[in-house]
Amino acid sequence: MISGKFDLVMKPLETYATGVDGVKLGRMSIDKTFFGGLSAVSKGEMLNALSPVEGSAGYVAVEQVTGELEGRNGSFVLQHYGFMGDGKRLLTLEVVPDSGTGELEGLTGKMDIRIENGQHYYDFEYRL
């Protein structure tokens, strides 16, 4: 497993649907720069839903990560699934099967994201 920091920039994108009955649907761009054992950049998109209840939301996202993973060059795709509500949080980020390219071909794994004092961190457990 490797860990490190990442910088994140998200911007609203045009959405197809806006939600009804107090639900807000959104679409965002994702741009990340990873540091540490994963030295890479990523680009992706997120769809989210905010319920009318404060603190309840869900999202899905896909991002393609390109760069170097512990000295191996290539790219791979991460798929996100997350929600929060009732004081619970679920966040799953997994490498999309067969999405690894270059020296990252055959990559599998899961990533966890932490936010501490406004800084984003990742923990990436993977196999090649």
Give CA separation, 72 vs 58, 80, 98, 103, in Å.
33, 23, 16, 5
CATH of 2-127, one of 3.40.50.1100, 2.40.350.10, 1.10.3720.10, 1.10.3470.10: 2.40.350.10
Q: What pLDDT does residue 38 have?
A: 98
Q: What pLDDT does residue 78 have?
A: 98
Angle at CA 107, nearest 5°, toward 121 and 123?
Answer: 15
Tens place of pLDDT per residue across the chain (128 aa): 999 999 999 999 999 998 999 999 999 999 999 999 999 999 999 999 999 999 999 999 999 999 999 999 999 999 999 999 998 999 999 999 999 999 999 999 999 999 999 999 999 999 99
Q: Enumerate the domain spans of the chain.
A: 2-127
Q: What pLDDT does residue 7 have?
A: 98
Q: What pLDDT does residue 87 have?
A: 86
Q: What pLDDT does residue 47 have?
A: 97
CA 84 to chain CA centroid, nearest Å: 15
Are 58 and 89 spatial neighbours (Cβ–Cβ below 8 Å)?
no
Q: What is the pTM of this model?
A: 0.94
